[in-house]
Amino acid sequence: MKEASINDIIIVGSGVAGQSAAIYAARADLNPVVLTGDEPGGQLSLTTDVENYLGFPEGVGGHELVQRGREQAEKFGASFQQASVVNADFSEQPFTLSLSNGEVLSTRSVVLATGASARTLGIPGENELMGYGLSTCATCDGAFHRGNDVVVVGGGDAAMEEALFLTKFADSVTVVHRRDELRASEILAKRAIEHEEISFRWNTELSEIRGSPEDSVTSVRLLSHPDGQPTAKRDAGEDVEIESLDVQGVFYGIGHNPNTGFLQETGVQRTEQNFVITDETTTATTVDGVFAAGDVADDRYQQAITAAGTGASAALDAEAFLDAIEESPRNEVPV
Ligand code: NAP
């Protein structure tokens, strides 16, 4: 009877980390299979201009960058499969990955490069209006807001980028931030603060989004407190200012949570915030043969260029692991 084929390496996720791992693994003749996940190309595919990726002095479109990355990986022999992992068994070699399309794949090594997904606030109106005026992606939905007044929530680079992008379409953009200081890099913060169509509501949070799927978003309820973090202040019984603001669009730019749900029963340890824990000097996780790269294991830098770097490291680490299995006397995982 023919044995089911065992892959050398499967890369879970197809953002820059996964693509970079695929290029290195393919060039090492490991015939990598890349599982694209629900967001092929990852977060960059939803980004406009990338200005800080090495080698592009004029900047490069996020979508173009990931398209070229995939082409480069395929050129060296990586194959891309549109599927997500729903269940992983890393308890023995070979590992098995059960996919969203029903397929089960066997592999000797895995690179986790599943990235992170947009955070939400969990406030009233959010579930009902997501996709109906509420969005986590200005690049995707900004063009629906020509002539509108919109709100962007957050004080980091993503929120500033969203706000700047939205000025192309909206009449007014109001950034709502829970403190009176931005977390964003100086260059983006300065651009947003100096932009005529962007105004800031400091020490303010959204407590409700109003509207309906038929009418889309119509207004938001704002809480403010002079010392910031108004929701926490309200919950602690302090007085907060409450106000309603008429807007037709709301964009969240409040960061991302790592996509690690399928790792629950696998022995791959994660931080309290669910980021995969890797070895201090390599991309090795707490399971031999499983490596992690990019935002899924990075609660600090979260840059395209660092994700690409750790992707390359993960492929090199996996290659060394596979060589060690090959050389071990019983062809088993060394302990
Ligand atoms: P981030 O830096 O973690 O910023 C998230 C922002 O959302 C913070 O200002 C935070 O407020 C706010 N926030 C978080 N949870 C909130 C809540 N429940 N309610 C209200 N506000 C909330 O996330 P990011 O902007 O997505 O950036 C992530 C990483 O990607 C960063 O390293 C960033 O530099 C990078 N990035 C770079 C670029 C670029 O260079 N072009 C673009 C996008 C992202 P606090 O400040 O009070 O915590």
Tell how far the Cα of 212 is from the centroid of ligand 1, in angstroms.
Answer: 28
Tell me which residue has its CA closest to atom 9 in ligand 1.
155
Which pLDDT score is estimated for 153? 98
Tell me which residue has its CA closest to atom 29 in ligand 1.
302
- Of all residues in the chain, the percent with pLDDT exceeding 70 is 96
Indicate if ligand 1 lies below 6 Å from the C-beta of 18.
no
Q: What is the mean pLDDT of residues 324-333?
A: 67
Q: What is the atom index within ligand 1 of the atom nearest the CA of 205? A: 20
Contacts of 119 (CB under 8 A, 6+ apart): 252, 254, 255, 256, 257
Tell how far the Cα of 253 is from the centroid of ligand 1, in angstroms.
Answer: 7
Apex 313 CA angle, 49 and 34, nearest 5: 70
Under DSSP, is residue 108 helix (H, G, I), strand (E, B) or coil? strand
Indicate if ligand 1 lies below 6 Å from the C-beta of 121.
yes
Tell me which residue has its CA closest to atom 40 in ligand 1.
157
What is the spatial distance between Cα 292 and Cα 313, in angstroms, rounded to a whole number? 9
Which pLDDT score is estimated for 219? 98
Active site residue 317: no
pLDDT one-digit tens code per residue, 256-311: 999 999 999 999 999 999 999 999 999 999 999 999 999 999 988 888 999 999 99
Which pLDDT score is estimated for 281? 96
Nearest by Cα to 222 from 145, 171, 161, 151: 151
Indicate if ligand 1 lies below 6 Å from the C-beta of 230.
no
Indicate if ligand 1 lies below 6 Å from the C-beta of 315.
no
Under DSSP, is residue 208 helix (H, G, I), strand (E, B) or coil? strand
pLDDT band at 47 (very low <50, low <70, confident <90, very high): confident
Which pLDDT score is estimated for 333? 52
Q: Which of 8, 141, 298, 317 is catalytic?
A: 141
Q: Which of 137, 149, 288, 299 is catalytic?
A: 137
- Amino acid letter, 38: D
Distances (CA, A) of 11 to 60, 190, 250, 282, 291: 25, 38, 34, 17, 9
User: Where do we find the tokens 């907060």?
Assistant: 240
Indicate if ligand 1 lies below 6 Å from the C-beta of 62.
no
pLDDT one-digit tens code per residue, 220-251: 999 999 999 999 999 999 999 999 999 999 99
Q: What is the mean pLDDT of residues 310-318?
A: 98
Question: pTM for the full model?
Answer: 0.81
- Of all residues in the chain, the percent with pLDDT exceeding 90 is 88
